Amino acid sequence: MTTTTTLLEEISVPEGIGRPIPDAATREVIAYAPVHTTEDLDRAIADARAAQPGWAALGHAERSRILHAIADEIEANAEELAVLLSREQGKPLNGPNARFEVGACALWTRSAADTPLEPEVVFEAGESRAEVHYEPLGVVGAIGPWNWPMMISVWQIAPSLRMGNTVVVKPSEYTPLSVLALAAVFNRHLPEGVLTVVSGDREVGASIAAHPGLDKIMFTGSTETGRRIVEASAHNLARLTLELGGNDPGIILPGTDIAAIAENLFWGIFLNTGQTCAALKRLYVHDSQYEQVVETLANLAAAMPSGNGLDEANVLGPLQNEKQFDVVRRLVDDARARGARIVTGGAAAPEHGPLFYQTTVVADIDDGAPLVDEEQFGPVIPVIRYSEVDDAVRRANASSQGLGASVWSSDVDAATEVARRVQAGTVWINQHGAINPNVPFGGIKASGYGQEFGVAGLKAVAAPQVIQR
């Protein structure tokens, strides 16, 4: 008789050795994650350095074949991965949530394998010719977040592997199990040392940023932490890709068909219960349609089922951790104290679990309130009036952050004209937060620098070499 070991059993360590990881919805312990040290990090980077030449020598075609095999493996284990992700992170299985995220892992892995990156002829005259080739950097250190732990890890891992690098991953302390399980699936097809997860605390994360054995650091997380990584990496001049916080604005232009955009607008705001860097976080609406938009969002918010993510009926889940729950509660309480109108929601939802917060729409609020000026990262949207489009653009651009933005209108040409004036790495028209593995993605201002996805993403994890004759 044979027994099958689950991914969770494969990656967990015994109680008393590891750190307890709670279910985001119930707060019951799921399993115990390994607690790696800086010495473990040193060994992982040394192993990655030793494995890198052999991995690079396989060539693009073989590495791409292996990535396709990994994508197949992800799909074969999709439901087990989705259930673990739902429990640890909190997002429901259904809707644009856990099953969606696991599917995106396979999609982005295949895209990294299939995106062509040929040598570029940049000069040619007579017998003179200059070409740009792209070679592996070496070892990539990847530091991921807790909101989309599997998908964003793949954004870092898959292109790095495709280009012949080896990777050492440091997952968030809140969601290590998801990343450990994903890496276990990858490692069924990778040589030893090519991909290692170091599941440690903040000390390990800080050591990655300053480690002399890394050639590239990729980080998704807060602007504050991103600044510390820039400072720490100065000593070894590691290349950086930083996808930092966002306080994305949306502008609804006068005369827009609100019913036609309502569903896209809602999910642009409340995707992953609002816990998305590139979610719409402050919405500017013209006086003429202000109350209609507020009422439409409030009705949708009241109708969307929230609760434990393993319940197939739910599409909204809890805040992932106590710290983020406290941020959301503080910002809404402050808005209420300032006289803002809480149209729907505005309180905890303990009937669902300790860290659930009602889906909340806040009206009659303005710039200067913390709920507008800060990134709430939760199921709350402040809706702000404007009278002139130029003023809405000015206010949208007033933030120090510039990850994403959106313009909404029944006149796509008018929306595009306004979009060109908005300061953000991506400006969507009649949608928000939609991403494509072939389309570059990255922020400006305090939202970081460097691009991911497609050809730009491959180049970001490669060393350009000019061959000139």
DSSP code string of 73-127: HHHHTHHHHHHHHHHHH---SSSSSHHHHHHHHHHHHHHHHH-----EEEEEETT
Amino acid in position 280: L
Question: What confidence category does residue 165 fall into, taking pLDDT thresholds of 50, 70 and 90?
Answer: very high
Q: What is the pLDDT of residue 235?
A: 87
227 and 347, same domain (yes or no): no
Catalytic-labelled residue, pool 277, 312, 374, 452? 277
CATH of the domain at 330: 3.40.309.10
29 and 84, same domain (yes or no): yes
Q: What is the pLDDT of residue 1?
A: 40
Beta carbons of 452 and 441 less than 8 angstroms apart? yes
Domain span at residue 23 reads: 7-244+447-468
- C-alpha dihedral, 323 to 325 to 326 to 328, nearest 10°: 130
Is there a domain that residue 28 lies in?
Answer: yes
Is there a domain that residue 280 lies in?
Answer: yes
Collapse the DSSP code of 10 into the 3-class scheme (helix H, G, I; strand E, B; otherwise coil) and give the result.
Answer: helix
Beta carbons of 81 and 185 less than 8 angstroms apart? yes
188 and 124, same domain (yes or no): yes
Catalytic-labelled residue, pool 173, 243, 375, 452? 243
Q: How far apart are CA 318 and CA 166, in angstroms?
A: 35
86 and 226, same domain (yes or no): yes
Strands 248-252 and 280-286 come out as parallel
Examine the residue annotation and report whether 173 is marked as an active-site residue of this protein: no
Residue 207 pLDDT greater than 70, yes or no:
yes
Residue 94 pLDDT greater than 70, yes or no:
yes
Q: What is the pLDDT of residue 2?
A: 45
Mean of pLDDT values over 104-111: 98
Q: What is the pLDDT of residue 263?
A: 97
232 and 266, same domain (yes or no): no
Residue 5 pLDDT greater than 90, yes or no:
no
421 and 373, same domain (yes or no): yes
454 and 402, same domain (yes or no): no
Is there a domain that residue 439 lies in?
Answer: no
259 and 403, same domain (yes or no): yes
305 and 234, same domain (yes or no): no
Strands 239-243 and 216-220 come out as parallel
92 and 215, same domain (yes or no): yes
Amino acid in position 332: V
**How many structural domains does the chain have?**
2
- How buried is 330 (Cβ within 10 angstroms: 0-12 exposed, 13-18 middle, 19+ buried)? middle
Q: What is the pLDDT of residue 3?
A: 52
Examine the residue annotation and report whether 243 is marked as an active-site residue of this protein: yes
Is there a domain that residue 437 lies in?
Answer: no
CA distances from residue 196 to 45, 136, 225, 236 in whole angstroms, order as listed = 9, 18, 22, 21
Q: How far apart are CA 51 and CA 48, in angstroms?
A: 5
Is there a domain that residue 212 lies in?
Answer: yes
Mean of pLDDT values over 122-146: 97
Is there a domain that residue 46 lies in?
Answer: yes
Residue by residue, DSSP assigns 211-241 as -TT-SEEEEES-HHHHHHHHHHHTTTT-EEE
For the chain, give the percent of residues with pLDDT over 90: 96
- Mean pLDDT in the chain? 97
Mean of pLDDT values over 103-114: 98
